[in-house]
Amino acid sequence: MTRELTAVMLTWEFPPRIIGGISPHVYYLAKSLAENGVKVYVVTCDFPGAPQHEVVNGVEVFRIDSYKNPSPDFATWVYLMNVNMQKEAAALVNSLGGNVDVFHAHDWLVANAGIGLKHVFRKPLLATMHSTEIGRRNGIHFDYERMIHETEAWLTYESWRVICCSDYMVSHVRWAFGLPGDKLVMISNGVNAGVYAKAEGEDLSQFRSKFALPDEKIVLFVGRLVYEKGIHVLVNVVPKVLEKVNAKFIIVGNGYMREQLSSLVRNIGLAHKVLFTGFVDDETLRKLQKCADVSVVPSLFEPFGIVALEAMAARSPVVVSDTGGLSEIVEHDVTGVKVYPDNPDSLVWGITKVLLDETYTNQIKANAYKKVQEKYDWNKIAQQTKGVYEAVLSEYSKSSWA
Amino acid sequence: MRVIIFSWEYPPRIVGQLADYVKELARQLVKNNVKTHVVTYHDYLTGGYDNSEGIKTYRVTNPVRTHIGVLTWVLTLNQEVERAAADVYYNASKQVDLIDAHDWHFVPAAVTLKKALNVPFVYSVESLEEHRSHGANSPFNMAIKSIEWLGMYEAEKLIAKSEWMRNEAYRLYKVPLDKTMVVPVKSTSWIKNILEIYQNVGGGAGFK
């Protein structure tokens, strides 16, 4: 091959559009692939103020009209958005003379576009499954959920390889869609530890005082306020934690459970101890993570658990549910504390252990920081991803499509 | 000349008037030495492929079996239509002159194939959402209308079966009147007029 390896990446979110973990994942993956000599085109949904086309860190980003009429429901919007995404990506690839090597789709949200492009250009498709409907909903209960589940199955069926970011997700996806083992690849998610290291040593006491009193320990939650993240478990143990230690709970993120949880906190008279911030900007988030005396990830379902890694990079001790990807990230008593999922007593024990035992906490913080530097490096992840592209292309070159 | 016809209904699966019309169109095209491929939906009553009367028929089914409405059903079926049409294209050494898309259902596929492979398409209008839904403007109806609009915008020509429909395409979607060709079904010059339109539209892009 004389030209460089070329990948077209499809994602429904890319900065500055940030809804969940896919956006930062694709951002760092694309950037690190570009640094490793892969030409990457990202096709994604538009966002107010973001240009239709730009080059970000060597990555060509194209933003499409994401269908702005009111939609009957979220899934229908996704399929309508895919009509536009596929159309624009098809025009882009055509303008490149069809000279791309792989299509890489992130989640069912871009399944249609990825599958269509594969067939019209006859190039291999890869998918990264960040999550599954059956996992998010803890089972399939309605036709709406089944439709999404079957769309995910269709995407994995059409993909040459399916990438998952933890061993847990590999076995989960394999079970959920009945995939052969050799179709699945585990490539860990990453964290950019550099952004936390940058402002090392800066004085955050002024910043901290905006969120908590000096004698309050900060308990931080970062995530969507939805059922599978277990935020209701955390909010329900606030009184029990406060019996043992004076703390301020800071809840960052939004979701359908916010109203319900904040009114619960008001009704039990603890509004001054629990702060719902909604979304915050990157800088505020990083500072909060650095200030946190404990970062809690109480998820009931967690394919990976990037917030735990971010906290570890920020040198904040972590208390996580022993579930999914979190089980692999954290080694109990070594790099953090694991608690039983959906178990209030266990969660109270974990949080108070970290807040009260300073020697123990300093030790797990230091170990966690080291682990993040060694294992979850984007450069390494990009090299592994490039390796998968190359393996697929070598198989493809022997196929009837080549 | 090689043409791929897209229609969501085709005998033996007859929903409305379109199925028989498309079948007769395919027959007449074959008689006039047009290599004719039909891509349609397959509901398990027929096989996936047949080649009767010289009409190569590809019946695709929906890879997503559970749906919450016709819209999601149509939108996931389009990728299978693309796959079938792309297979025709590559198996014919990329020599496809045009696609004739009947109604809105497979407009997304026609648009993608145009953008990806430079195969132009004509949009044959049997009916419009505005009339089917008596002017309803729910998000569901709007979505179908937006697909109709996309088809009319991206098509090289529209083929309407009456002057009235040509005027409606102009009234509802601002399609320039000279973009819509009126070819009444019962007219004696019906197939001759269709072939002329195909010739004008398919003259170049497919052979790039």
pLDDT in tens, A342-389: 999 999 999 999 999 999 999 999 999 999 988 899 999 999 999 999
Question: How far is residue B36's CA from residue A3's CA, in Å, rounded to a whole number?
Answer: 38
**Do A105 and A126 touch, CB atoms closer than 8 A?**
yes
**pLDDT score for A20:** 81
A197 confidence band (pLDDT: 50, 70, 90)? confident
Pair A68, A174 in one domain:
yes
Q: Is A374 on the interface with B (CB under 8 A)?
A: no
Cβ separation of A80 and B112 shorter than 8 Å? no
Write out pLDDT tens, residues A255-302: 999 999 999 999 999 999 999 999 999 899 999 999 999 999 999 999
Percent of chain A at pLDDT > 70 equals 99
Report pLDDT for A2: 60
Query: Are B75 and A80 an interchain contact pair (Cβ–Cβ within 8 Å)?
Result: yes
The shortest CB-CB distance from A71 to any of B67, B78, B139 is to B139
The alpha carbon of residue A193 is apart from the nearest alpha carbon of chain B, in Å, by 40
Q: Is the pLDDT of residue B208 over 60?
A: no
A162 and A65 in a common domain? yes
- For residue A116, which of A152, A158, A153, A163 has the smallest C-alpha distance? A158
Query: Does residue A41 sit in the same domain as residue A178?
Result: yes
Fold for the domain defined by B2-207:
Rossmann fold (3.40.50)
Beta bridge partners of B10: B13
| A148 plus A104 within the same structural domain | yes
The CB density around residue A70, as the number of other CB atoms within 10 Å, is 12
**Per-residue pLDDT, A82:** 98
A386 and A262 together in one domain: no
Q: Is the predicted pLDDT of residue B205 greater than 60, yes or no?
A: no
Say whether both A230 and A123 belong to one domain.
no
Q: How far apart are CA B77 and CA A83, in angstroms?
A: 12
> What is the tens place of the pLDDT at every residue in B7-32?
999 999 999 999 999 999 999 999 99
Classify residue A80: in a domain, yes or no: yes
For residue A133, give the CATH number of its domain: 3.40.50.2000
Range of the domain at A75: 6-190+377-396
Q: Are residues A134 and A235 in the same domain?
A: no
Answer yes or no: is pLDDT of A90 > 60: yes
Which residues 122-141 of B have a C-beta within 8 angstroms of A? 138-140
**pLDDT for position A165:** 93
Q: How confident is the model at residue A161 (pLDDT cuts 50, 70, 90)?
A: very high
What is the value of ipTM here, to two decimals? 0.95
Number of domains in chain A: 2
Is A76 part of the contact surface with chain B (CB cutoff 8 Å)? Answer: yes
Lowest mean pLDDT across A18-32, A84-98, A193-207, B164-178: A193-207
Residues B82-113 have pLDDT tens digits of 999 999 999 999 999 999 999 999 999 999 99
Reported as half-sphere exposure (CB side, CA atoms, 13 A), residue B107 has a value of 25
B46 touches A: beta carbon within 8 Å: no
As a whole number, mean pLDDT of residues B51-62 equals 95
Instruction: Extract the tokens encoding A157.
Output: 């069926």
Q: What is the pLDDT of residue B203?
A: 67
Within a domain: A402: no
Statement to judge: residues A208 and A318 lie in one domain: yes
Record the pTM.
0.90
The reply to whether A292 and A326 lie within a common domain is yes
Q: Does A401 fall in a domain?
A: no
Mean pLDDT taken over chain A:
95
pLDDT value of residue B186: 84
Q: Are A207 and A225 part of one and the same domain?
A: yes
- Residues A1-21 have a mean pLDDT of 90
The per-residue pLDDT for A373 is: 85
Label each residue of chain A as H, E or C. CCCCCEEEEECCCCCCCCCCCHHHHHHHHHHHHHHCCCEEEEEEECCCCCCCEEEECCEEEEEECCCCCCCCCHHHHHHHHHHHHHHHHHHHHHHCCCCCCEEEEECHHHHHHHHHHHHHHCCCEEEECCCCHHHHCCCCCCHHHHHHHHHHHHHHHHCCEEEECCHHHHHHHHHHHCCCHHHEEECCCCCCCHHHHCCCCCCCHHHHHCCCCCCCEEEEEECCCCHHHCHHHHHHCHHHHHHHCCEEEEEEECCCCHHHHHHHHHHCCCCCCEEEEECCCHHHHHHHHHHCCEEEECCCCCCCCHHHHHHHHCCCCEEEECCHHHHHHCCECCCEEEECCCCHHHHHHHHHHHHHCHHHHHHHHHHHHHHHHHHCCHHHHHHHHHHHHHHHHHHHCCCCCC
Q: Measured between alpha carbons, how far is residue A193 from residues A17, A133, A285 in Å? A: 22, 30, 14
pLDDT at A196: 85
Mean per-residue pLDDT, B152-174: 98
User: What is the Cα–Cα distance from A151 to A137, expressed in whole angstroms?
Assistant: 15
B185 touching A (Cβ < 8 Å): no
Spatial separation of the C-alpha atoms in residues A342 and A339, rounded to whole Å:
9
Is pLDDT above 80 for A215? yes
Which pLDDT does position B207 carry in this prediction?
38
A330 and A388 within one domain = no
Q: What is the pLDDT of residues A125-140, one digit of tens each?
A: 999 999 999 998 889 9
